[in-house]
Amino acid sequence: MAASVSILIVDDEESVRDSLYNWFIDEGYRVESAENAKKALDILESKDFDIILVDIKMPGMDGLELHRRIKSSNKDTIVIIMTAFASVTTAVQALKDGAYDYITKPFDPDDLSHLVRNAVRQIILKTENEVLRNKVISLENIEDLIGKSNAMMRVLKEVERVAQSNSPVIITGESGTGKELIARAIHSNSPRKFFPLVSVHCGALSESLLESELFGHEKGAFTGAMYTRKGRFEMADGGTIFLDEIATISAKMQVELLRILETKTFIRVGGNKEITSDFRIICATNRDLKKMVEDGTFREDLFYRLNVVNIKVPPLRDRTEDIPLLVDYFIKKYCTSMSRDMISIDPAAMKRITEYGFPGNVRELENMIERAIVIGNGKEIRLKDLPFEKDTINSSIESLQDLEKKHVRQILEKYNWNISRSAKALKVDRVTLYNKIKKYGLKPSTN
Amino acid sequence: MNKQDILLISYGHFEKDFLEKLAGDVTREFFYPVYIEAGHIDFNDYYDPERRQYDGNKLINVIDTVFSSYNSKRIGLFDVDLFIPIFTYIFGQAVFNGNTGIASLYRLRNEHYGMKKDDNLLLDRFRKVIIHELGHTFGLIHCHMPTCVMRSSTYVEDLDQKSHHLCLKCRTRMQ
């Protein structure tokens, strides 16, 4: 969206023009600048801009007059007035004349960022008519959410649907299924995407730390609080707050959370001023919150407040058809990030991967592929590049003989069937190893 | 040095270990050789007594001029409070698609915000600012991916939310 928003900067100070120009270019906007009102009007004769930033004090025609002329020819253009502290009263006059907002120089980077994002949001709302809003929206800005299985398609469809609303969402699923990725996908596809996504891992923080993290604190609120600090709810203003491991929060924090969800206002620790924040809340947990409600360890009212939309992320074992896609994706991802040539995967290795149960889900698969690329031969991922310790534990091997057969085979594969090296690793002589190979009918893999 | 090299120029006192860790992180992100040099300037020339801060644009200009013969990407590392005319402060700044950028530790320290000193967090924040500014010199714009290092950050907490890596989209765009 940023690339399709055009901005014109009108300021007589070259350093201001250049700094703003660079900042907006970094943000991805299309930008032009003019050193005075006359030049700006000349440019506006041939081009339209979505946002115009106008300095109030300029030699010749001032910013107020330029604003009036812009508004007389194009009412829809958003004009933001830039002013020095001394000329705020003049800026207020500009607001009365229909300017979108004003900002005092020098700007706090966050203020400018918020102001422009709000303006962009207004432009989006204006251009998105009902037809556009109801059409099928394709997901963008998502990484690592790969899958074409029915289970995953259902989840992605749900993400697409809920992204457009403001409702609270609870994402449930086993560890490693990608709950945080789902939260990111919802945020990145929502109208809030220009504002921050603030993540908090509730399980990692004690009650008092979590309180300070979420609500912020005032200077002097406790020993060591030498400065006022914004909390995560305040930082998420306009955007989304993601609370991971929500089931771990204390009873006291559950009450606090319920209150802030109901009022969207809160008070910083040690403060007395009510602060309002416009955020959307997404929570995640790998626990059964409903059961926790029944057990009395999670508040029922908070559960119903949060559980407006529930997205269940399936474990990888329930969507095995996605495994080859995920493997290809992770190979591409890690070969690119390690600046290596693309590699392939040996069919035997792929077969073994698809058969594996993946108790650690997608995270385990990703780590497995990354490790295989790091330790592998740089051409393909082989069976011996993959660790399957957990598989050994879960396998159907019961007898000692089966275990010995499997171990001997693994060692032989590890050393490319080099008998001397394999025997040395097994701490047996070569004859014993030959006897074991014969006994178990072991042969080198054809792949 | 050629254009694929990256030069980290320290202005002021930085521990050798600290700089080497940063250089390692930058190399791993961009796959270009990273060199470290000590730069020398008279800080008084860039100090704005009214704002009690140092002018980022002027510092970029002087680095650009002094190191013009190097023809590599270069980032000036500072430990002073930086500003540009329009902003009250900056963590860093770079010339889009250019060769030069700057980054400062000054506002990245936990102690600046009344919190406990954390050297690992400081290193993590600084490398994110440096890699972000280098990204701009390679023509990357701000990214909406929440974890991408090219996401814009106005608070240290914003820096803490993102990783020090380019997302796949930015990396592909760069290549």
* Residue B173: per-residue pLDDT: 85
Asked whether residue A278 falls in the same domain as residue A156, the answer is yes
Q: Which contiguous run of DSSP H or E holds residue A78?
A: strand A78-83
Asked whether residue A310 falls in the same domain as residue A332, the answer is no
Asked whether residue A98 falls in the same domain as residue A120, the answer is yes
Asked whether residue A247 falls in the same domain as residue A387, the answer is no
* Residue A19: per-residue pLDDT: 84
Q: Is residue A379 part of a domain?
A: yes
The answer to whether residue A49 scores a pLDDT higher than 50 is yes
* Residue B107: per-residue pLDDT: 94
Higher pLDDT, A392 or A369: A369
Q: Is residue A447 part of a domain?
A: no
Higher pLDDT, A142 or B1: A142
Contact B155 A333 (CB under 8 A): no
The answer to whether residue A390 scores a pLDDT higher than 70 is no
DSSP for A135-185, written as a single string: SPPPP-S--S----SHHHHHHHHHHHHHHTS---EEEE--TTS-HHHHHHH
What is the distance, to the nearest Å, from the Cα of residue A84 to the centroid of all Cα atoms in its chain?
37
Boundary of a domain, candidates A254, A286, A314: A314
The one-character DSSP state at A85 is G
Residue A246 near residue A306 (C-beta atoms within 8 A) = yes
**Residue to substitute from A23, A25, A188, interface B, most B β-carbons within 10 A:** A23
Domain CATH number, residue A378: 1.10.8.60
Nearest CA in chain A to B117: A224
Exposed/middle/buried for residue A425 (C-beta within 10 Å: 0-12, 13-18, 19+)? middle
A132's CB contacts (< 8 A; 6+ apart) are none
Size of interface A-B (CB pairs under 8 A): 109
Count of CB atoms within 10 A of residue B54's CB? Answer: 22
Contact A224 B116 (CB under 8 A): yes
Contact A227 B114 (CB under 8 A): yes
Q: Calculate how close chain B gets to A108, using CA atoms only, in Å.
A: 5
Exposed/middle/buried for residue A130 (C-beta within 10 Å: 0-12, 13-18, 19+)? exposed
Residue B145: what residue type?
Answer: M
* Residue B29: per-residue pLDDT: 93
Contact B161 A197 (CB under 8 A): yes
What is the value of pTM for the model shown? 0.62
> Is residue A26 less than 8 Å (CB to CB) from chain B?
yes
Rounded Cα distance between A89 and A94, Å, is: 9
Rounded Cα distance between A235 and A22, Å, is: 25
In tens, the pLDDT along B32-53 reads: 999 999 999 999 999 999 889 9
* Residue A132: per-residue pLDDT: 47
DSSP 3-state of B19? helix
Positions of E strands within A309-376: 309-312, 344-345
B133 as an active site residue: the answer is yes
List the one residue out of A270, A256, A148 whose CA is nearest residue A217: A270
Question: Between the CA of residue A417 and those of A331, A346, A420, A423, B59, what are the distances in Å?
Answer: 27, 18, 9, 10, 62
Rounded Cα distance between B161 and A244, Å, is: 13
Residues of A in contact with B85 (CB under 8 A): 13, 15-16, 19, 105-106
Rounded Cα distance between A210 and A256, Å, is: 11
In tens, the pLDDT along B108-123 reads: 999 888 888 999 999 9
Asked whether residue A301 falls in the same domain as residue A156, the answer is yes
Question: Between the CA of residue A381 and those of A385, A389, A400, what are the distances in Å?
Answer: 6, 17, 30
> Per-residue pLDDT averaged across B83-103, rounded?
92
The answer to whether residue A248 scores a pLDDT higher than 50 is yes
Query: Strand A265-267 to strand A274-276: parallel, antiparallel, or no bridges (unpaired)?
Result: antiparallel
Q: Is residue A255 part of a domain?
A: yes
Rounded Cα distance between A156 and A145, Å, is: 9
Q: Please report the sign of the dihedral spanned by the C-alpha atoms of residue A327, residue A332, residue A334, residue A338.
A: positive
What is the distance, to the nearest Å, from the Cα of residue A73 to the centroid of all Cα atoms in its chain?
41
* Residue B21: per-residue pLDDT: 95
Mean pLDDT of chain A: 84
In tens, the pLDDT along B18-32 reads: 999 999 999 999 999
* Residue A208: per-residue pLDDT: 81
List the one residue out of B11, B18, B4 whose CA is nearest residue B103: B11
Q: Is residue A383 part of a domain?
A: yes
Count of CB atoms within 10 A of residue A164's CB? Answer: 15
Residue recorded with tokens 């604190």 = A217
B positions 57-76 inside 8 Å of A (CB): 57
Q: Is residue A411 part of a domain?
A: yes
> Is residue A19 less than 8 Å (CB to CB) from chain B?
yes
Higher pLDDT, A209 or A447: A209
Query: Could you tell me the residue range of the domain that residue A343 belongs to?
Result: 317-440
* Residue A128: per-residue pLDDT: 61
In tens, the pLDDT along A9-38 reads: 999 988 888 888 888 888 888 899 999 999
A13's CB contacts (< 8 A; 6+ apart) are A55, B85
Nearest CA in chain A to B140: A26
Rounded Cα distance between B36 and B106, Å, is: 20
DSSP 3-state of A268? coil
Asked whether residue A347 falls in the same domain as residue A409, the answer is yes
Q: Calculate how close chain A gets to B157, using CA atoms only, in Å.
A: 9
Greatest alpha-carbon span in chain A: 99
Asked whether residue A220 falls in the same domain as residue A288, the answer is yes
A46's CB contacts (< 8 A; 6+ apart) are none
Q: Residue A391: which pLDDT band, with cuts at 50, 70 and 90?
A: very low
Asked whether residue A79 falls in the same domain as residue A149, the answer is no
Inter-axis angle of helices A150-163 and A179-188, to 10 degrees?
40
Token readout for B13 is 């006192």
Q: What are phi and psi of B87, to 5 degrees?
A: -115, 150
Q: Residue A139: which pLDDT band, with cuts at 50, 70 and 90?
A: low
> Per-residue pLDDT averaged across A346-372, rounded?
90
Q: Residue A39: which pLDDT band, with cuts at 50, 70 and 90?
A: very high
Exposed/middle/buried for residue A111 (C-beta within 10 Å: 0-12, 13-18, 19+)? middle
Residue A268 near residue A228 (C-beta atoms within 8 A) = yes
B positions 72-131 inside 8 Å of A (CB): 83-90, 93, 95-96, 112-116
Higher pLDDT, A90 or A168: A168
CA atoms within 13 A on the CB side of B13: 0
Q: What is the 3-state secondary structure (H, E, C) of A182-194?
A: HHHHHHHCCHHHH
* Residue A131: per-residue pLDDT: 40
Asked whether residue A149 falls in the same domain as residue A287, the answer is yes
Q: Please report the sign of the dihedral spanned by the C-alpha atoms of residue A408, residue A411, residue A416, residue A421.
A: negative
DSSP 3-state of A30? strand
The lowest-confidence range among A332-341, A384-393, B13-22, B91-100 is A384-393
Domain CATH number, residue A235: 3.40.50.300
Boundary of a domain, candidates A314, A345, A371: A314
Rounded Cα distance between A4 and A23, Å, is: 16
Query: Strand B53-55 to strand B82-84: parallel, antiparallel, or no bridges (unpaired)?
Result: parallel
The one-character DSSP state at B108 is T
Domain CATH number, residue A39: 3.40.50.2300
The answer to whether residue A134 scores a pLDDT higher than 70 is no
* Residue A140: per-residue pLDDT: 59
Q: Please report the sign of the dihedral spanned by the C-alpha atoms of residue A349, residue A350, residue A351, residue A357.
A: positive
Residue A243 near residue A202 (C-beta atoms within 8 A) = yes
Q: Is residue A191 part of a domain?
A: yes
Structural domains of chain A, count? 3
Q: Calculate how close chain B gets to A130, using CA atoms only, in Å.
A: 25
Q: Is residue A359 part of a domain?
A: yes
Most confident segment among A88-97, B86-95, B127-136:
B127-136
Residues of B in contact with A199 (CB under 8 A): 146, 161
What is the distance, to the nearest Å, from the Cα of residue B13 to the centroid of all Cα atoms in its chain?
16
Asked whether residue A179 falls in the same domain as residue A305, the answer is yes
Rounded Cα distance between A307 and A294, Å, is: 15
* Residue A396: per-residue pLDDT: 57
* Residue A302: per-residue pLDDT: 93
- Please determine, for the modelled complex, whether the ipTM score is greater than 0.90: no
* Residue A142: per-residue pLDDT: 64
The answer to whether residue A143 scores a pLDDT higher than 80 is no
Token readout for A362 is 């997608």
Boundary of a domain, candidates A289, A314, A339: A314
Most confident segment among A182-186, B120-124, B145-149:
B120-124
Q: Is residue A446 part of a domain?
A: no
Contact B146 A187 (CB under 8 A): yes
The one-character DSSP state at A298 is S
> Per-residue pLDDT averaged across A431-442, rounded?
88
Q: Calculate how close chain B gets to A332, using CA atoms only, in Å.
A: 9
> Is residue B37 less than 8 Å (CB to CB) from chain A?
no
> Per-residue pLDDT averaged across A309-327, rounded?
91
Asked whether residue A168 falls in the same domain as residue A271, the answer is yes
* Residue A127: per-residue pLDDT: 65
Residue B170 near residue B148 (C-beta atoms within 8 A) = yes
Q: Nearest Cβ partner of B141 from A26, A105, A235?
A: A26
Asked whether residue A66 falls in the same domain as residue A114, the answer is yes
* Residue A77: per-residue pLDDT: 85
Q: Calculate how close chain B gets to A26, using CA atoms only, in Å.
A: 5
* Residue A75: per-residue pLDDT: 76
